[in-house]
Structure 1
């Protein structure tokens, strides 16, 4: 199934959750935010939220600094 993550078209298996996607991409981080189709998904829901064909995912990693 096709999705777009951070502007890049990617193929994933059906019923993939946000958490599984981030683990597969090796980008799972405690200081991340994820939006699916312009709506923020709470981190507590990442393991339950199943992605759908043509979803647009934005994964943002926060960096501290001064």
Structure 2
């Protein structure tokens, strides 16, 4: 399937969850927020939220600092 990931077209396997996408990208679940088609997905749903062809995903990393 094809998705738009942070503004870039990306080919991913069918039946992929948000957790699977993050794992494949080497991104931990800590300090990230994921938006799918302009809706923020709760972390509790990352395992069960399945991505679909054409989805637009934004991954935002939180960083601390001062």
Query: TM-score scaled by structure 1?
Result: 0.96
Corresponding residue number in structure 2 for 1:41: 41
How far is 1:16 from its partner? 0.2
Paired residue secondary structure (2:40): strand
Corresponding residue number in structure 2 for 1:31: 31
Matched residues in 2 for 1:25 and 1:6: separation?
A: 12
State the aligned residue count: 66
Q: Structure 2: which 5+ runs fail to align?
A: none
Q: Structure 1: which 5+ runs fail to align?
A: none
Matched residues in 1 for 2:29 and 2:20: separation?
A: 12
Structure 1 segments, 4+ long, off by >2 Å, are none
Corresponding residue number in structure 1 for 2:5: 5
